[in-house]
Amino acid sequence: MTELPNWNVLKPEFDSIPDRGNPLMIYSLTLQRKWQWYVTNHMLILGLLSSTVFYALTLPVDNLNDRGAITFTILLTVTAFKYTISDSLPKISYMTFMDYYILSNFMLMFMVIAENVIVGRLWDEKDTVV
């Protein structure tokens, strides 16, 4: 049998059904994708990269330029990583758990960008009013 490096063969089945004197043989396989490699090499690294966006929240509120620069740099890094790993992911027409995970990481980063802008604007208004 040909080895499938990314798959586990769970349940091979063989059946024979007579059909008008001609035997019909049915062979079916149940396969499961090996997910551990994707978790350690894609999801873990992507999660660690995305979590560094929280470093921008440790900077002073009035330092909006540095907060934005850090956040956008991390966003570009994660985008480049996404394009790098896209070759090793299966090309399918529906959203997988990995797609939702990548999308949620981007949403998290955009929420931090929005927080930076909103807090920066409120900080500017506070200085203007006083």
Q: Which two tokens stand for residue 95?
A: 């959203």
pTM, two decimal places: 0.72
Instruction: Summarize pLDDT for 1-29 with one digit per residue, the tens.
Output: 567 777 788 888 888 877 777 778 888 88
With 0-12 CB in 10 A as exposed, 13-18 as middle and 19+ as buried, what is 72? middle
What domains can be seen in the chain, in order of their start residue?
A: 35-129 (1.20.58.390)
Q: Rg of the chain over CA atoms, in angstroms?
A: 25
